[in-house]
Amino acid sequence: MNIPDDLAEKVINAPAQTSDDWSKRAACAKENPEMFYPGKGAATADDAKNVCRRCPVSFSCLLWAVDTGEREGIWGGFSASGLGPIRRQRRRALDNR
């Protein structure tokens, strides 16, 4: 699933993250990490995305994946493999500030 335009816009224009404190509140904290890397375990991407849907820090997680260049796994409810265009737009936006 592609990131909706309104969410992509928020990611592109968000301030730079300076901390990963958000991860302490992650809904996946007690889940098997392999769930978030479909293909490496028995879980599917939908299993991971279902956990992300109830996560209070999904936006910070998605932003983290964009800013750290994650290319694998499920972050913020989306596949990291589809983050390239948003990553490039965000870099441009940060460079122009």
Applying CB under 6 A, the residues found at the interface with ligand SF4 are: 26-28, 36, 51-52, 55, 57-58, 61, 74-77
For ligand SF4, give the closer residue by CB, 12 or 57: 57
Work out the number of other CB atoms within 10 angstroms of the CB of residue 78: 25
Q: Are the beta carbons of 96 and 13 closer than 8 angstroms?
A: no
CA distance 38 to 56: 22
For ligand SF4, give the closer residue by CB, 21 or 92: 21
Report phi then psi at 30, rounded to 5: -105, 10
CB of 19 to ligand SF4, least distance (A): 14
Q: Are the beta carbons of 52 and 74 closer than 8 angstroms?
A: yes
For ligand SF4, give the closer residue by CB, 27 or 94: 27
CB of 3 to ligand SF4, least distance (A): 13
CB of 92 to ligand SF4, least distance (A): 25
